[in-house]
């Protein structure tokens, strides 16, 4: 089977659930097609996440046009250093992508100002994905990442929006900055990547932990250990599509309609029924993102 071939539709969930983090603008389909396929298997709402200015504008526009799409807007942790360093065009082929002007702190301030404007829109339910990424950005980008992260935390609190965190190989620094700045009331660790010990720390602070398809990977036992430790009321599920496609489809394109595969794997890890887990995840998503449960 070609790695470009979309996986088949899974059996529908009996209880509706939400995809708390997806990138519809990076998927090889229309928004309408993606939402219809997701709905057919019980995934009735999605959070569309922007990673740069173009993607964040697109997320806000798409959420305004679709009742079951909710937007999150931000500069991705790896985007802030690119802006400051003036390192080429923004983003990764998102609709509306434009070339970036020469960089510097002023350029970052200008970009953060636009994210702040978007964060005030009613269809924008979260500020993110923001945070720290020590995997793709070296020491020369650390200051810009941290300044951007702190600015996003302040925005989320001022606008009363959830904060969606990208944390890659930066657990201690992410937790430290949240402590220093004061985390928003609703904070989500997207694609949770810590271990069971970190899950206990997150639980103590009331941070939501969103698990993606990589929880199904053979080498992901620390994630499964964390999932067991995480309180039921703080668990979310996501695709991060088109990335992190769950086993047995790893390496093929991901999409919101594959959420049932991950939910069933999570239920097995926690030794609980998939319906009970799906119901809890939906309730948690409504709380985390301040959604109206009539449209969630």
Q: What is the pLDDT of residue 1?
A: 64
Residues 233-255: pLDDT tens digits? 999 999 999 999 999 999 999 99
Domains of the chain, CATH where assigned: 20-289 (3.20.20.140)
Residues 174-191: pLDDT tens digits? 999 999 999 999 999 999
Ordered alpha helix ranges (H), the chain: 31-40, 53-65, 79-85, 105-119, 142-159, 171-181, 196-205, 221-229, 259-270, 274-289
Whether the predicted pLDDT of 102 surpasses 60: no
Q: What is the pLDDT of residue 52?
A: 98
Radius of gyration of the chain (CA): 18
> Token match 């509306």: residue?
96
Angle of helix 221-229 relative to helix 259-270, nearest 10 degrees, comes to 70
Q: What percent of the chain has pLDDT over 70?
A: 93
Q: What is the mean predicted confidence (pLDDT) over 190-212?
A: 98
Q: What is the pLDDT of residue 2?
A: 74
Residue 132 tokens read as 């720290």
Tell me the pTM: 0.93
296 CB contacts (<8 Å, ≥6 apart)? 18, 44, 45, 68, 282, 285, 286
Average pLDDT, the chain: 93
Q: What is the pLDDT of residue 12?
A: 98
Instruction: Name the band, by pLDDT with cuts 50, 70 and 90, for residue 295.
Output: low
Instruction: Name the band, by pLDDT with cuts 50, 70 and 90, for residue 105.
Output: confident
Residues 128-139: pLDDT tens digits? 999 999 998 888
Residues 59-89: pLDDT tens digits? 999 999 999 999 999 999 999 999 998 864 3
Whether the predicted pLDDT of 293 surpasses 60: no
């Amino acid at each position: 089977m070609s790695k470009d071939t979309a996986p088949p539709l899974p059996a529908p969930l009996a209880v509706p659930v939400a995809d708390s983090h997806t990138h519809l603008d990076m998927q090889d389909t229309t928004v309408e097609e993606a939402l219809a396929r997701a709905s057919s298997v019980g995934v009735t709402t999605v959070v569309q996440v922007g990673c740069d200015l173009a993607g964040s504008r697109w997320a806000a526009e798409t959420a305004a046009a679709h009742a079951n799409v909710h937007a999150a807007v931000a500069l991705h942790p790896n985007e802030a250093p690119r802006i400051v360093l003036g390192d080429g065009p923004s983003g990764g082929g998102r609709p509306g992508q434009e070339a970036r002007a020469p960089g510097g702190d002023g350029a970052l301030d200008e970009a953060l100002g636009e994210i702040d404007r978007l964060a005030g829109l009613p269809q924008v339910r979260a500020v993110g994905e923001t945070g720290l990424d020590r995997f793709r950005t070296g020491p020369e980008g650390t200051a810009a990442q941290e300044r951007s992260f702190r600015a996003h935390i302040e925005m989320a609190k001022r606008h009363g929006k959830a904060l969606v965190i990208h944390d890659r190989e930066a657990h201690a620094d992410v937790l430290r900055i949240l402590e220093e700045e004061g985390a928003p009331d609703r904070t989500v660790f997207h694609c949770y990547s810590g271990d069971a010990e970190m899950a206990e720390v997150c639980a103590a602070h009331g941070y939501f932990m969103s698990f993606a398809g990589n929880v199904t990977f053979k080498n992901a036992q620390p994630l499964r250990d964390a999932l067991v430790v995480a309180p039921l009321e703080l668990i979310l599920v996501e695709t991060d599509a088109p990335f992190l496609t769950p086993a047995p489809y790893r390496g093929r394109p991901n999409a919101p309609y594959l959420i049932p595969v991950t939910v069933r794997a999570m239920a097995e890890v926690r030794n609980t029924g998939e319906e009970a887990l799906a119901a809890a995840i939906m309730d948690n998503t409504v709380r985390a993102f301040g959604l109206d449960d009539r449209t969630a």
